[in-house]
Amino acid sequence: MKSIQTICYRIVNFIWELFHVCGVIFGQGFNSLRLHHVNPLPHDVTLQLLKEYLAKQSDRLKPSSLGHRIRFIRSLFRFAYEETYLTSNPSLKLREPKMDKRIPKFLIEEDVINLKISCLSLRERAILEFLYSTGCRVGEVQKINIEDLNWENCSAIVNGKGSKQREVYFTTECKVWLKKYLVNRQDSCKALFVTDKHPTRRMAIPTIRWESKRLANRGKIGVNVYPHRFRHTYACQLLDNGAPLDFIQGMLGHEKASTTQIYAQLRGECRRELYRRYF
């Protein structure tokens, strides 16, 4: 039986080679790498090579996408170094690009009403109501089980980032649609939201995203609709109703207050969006 070290070492090399197969790393293929006498293995990579690669990528990637790329590279090399597959970590001095603070995109009330009207199934309406009234991340919604709901308090326990649990609340309207959906189900799956096709299983995140987009197309909503946009809308409504930022931080499950601060810009943006829509 192969040792754990051998398996891990192969995983490191496999992940690294995926970059080359996809034609992403260094922006070159295997042939051009060989011409430059670069063997596509982790221990051949230097800080200078990584900087050259990222400099090329910065011409075509947004700062956020470049940041994701840098975090992946750092994670890969940190793992390889800590597990002694490398004698040094060339990615230590890589820094993520500074990103402009973008105002989160939200839905106005008219959009939400049109989305509700566009629902053709109990599941569609139940998911929409839950996303809209809890402000949960799509991954939190996907993982929630029926037993996590407290019907009396109209609340649910969700597992957020870093496996941190928090209590979220949903409206009475959401409760009505959740119960209608669950009563209509004929399966024993513990997941709150499940697939329509048999065998019944927990809905996948891409399916929830696709369902949001389908609702938007059906309702002829003039903006891009995705699960996280409901989260921004939730925060915007709390702000408009006078909720303090520290309360919103707790409800959204933000670890850092600075993450929630960006929503402070939404007060004026909500008014501007309504003006543009109706004037």
Strand partners, 167: 157
Distance CA 148, CA 165 (A): 11
- The CA distance from 155 to 136, in Å, is 12
C-alpha distances in Å from residue 243, one per residue of 237, 238, 257, 264: 9, 5, 15, 11
Q: For 146, which DSSP code?
A: G
What are the catalytic residues?
Answer: 137, 161, 228, 231, 254, 263
- Please report, to the nearest 10 degrees, the dihedral formed by the alpha carbons of residues 29, 31, 34, 39 taken in order: 50
Task: Supply the angle between the helices 122-134 and 109-118 in degrees, to the nearest 10.
Answer: 160
The Cα 241–Cα 15 span in angstroms is 48
